[in-house]
Amino acid sequence: MKQKIEEVNQLINNQAFDARDSRIMAAHQKAFNLCFKYNQQVDQNHGYNLELLTTLFHQIGTDPYIEPDFHCQFGFNITMGNEIFLNHDCTLMDYAPITIGNQANIAPKVGMYTAQPVLDPQKREHHIMIARPITIKNNVWIGGNVCILGGVTIGNNAIIGAGSVVDHDVPDNAVVVGNPAKVIRIIK
């Protein structure tokens, strides 16, 4: 399994890649099945199965709380710290690594998208994409319906207002809102 993960990561990390490559599609199908199983257990049995999450993610800290319907692309590119909370309907498209620090509070319908299309339209016709990592540091609060794009780092103690589109780095202790998200205040 580890060899297959490394193989897929070599295809996608820091370079253009074909999103329809059979190895990428197989890795996604495995993650899709694990997410489905996890979401079903929570919905039907209120069973927050840490074993499934441990199998899915690269690393997960203590006391995670992830509500259904949770979705990710692969899972093996996701690292989560301690006491994180992901509310309903979060999507983490982890073509590149997504790292979430300790005590992150993520509201419903948040999307984190590491992949983006290449500019060349002929390459896009052939499903060529690139991916850049997302890093969310400690004690970050992210409001509902926020979209976070690849290449972004969100600093410690930051607050991202509901509905924001984050396409650039957010400094520590900042409150940002809007599309694109802009700093409106620094928390003292």
Pairing of β 141-142 and β 105-106? parallel
In tens, the pLDDT along 76-90 reads 999 999 999 999 999
Q: Are 103 and 64 in contact (CB under 8 A)?
A: no
pLDDT at 148: 98
Cα–Cα distance, 142 to 147 (Å, whole number): 10
pLDDT at 6: 74
Within 13-148, residue ranges assigned H as helices are 22-45, 50-56, 121-125
**Which domains does the chain show, CATH number per domain?**
2-186 (2.160.10.10)
Helix and strand element counts for the chain (H, E): 4, 20
pLDDT at 1: 58
pLDDT at 47: 67
Q: Mean pLDDT over residues 7-14, rounded?
A: 72
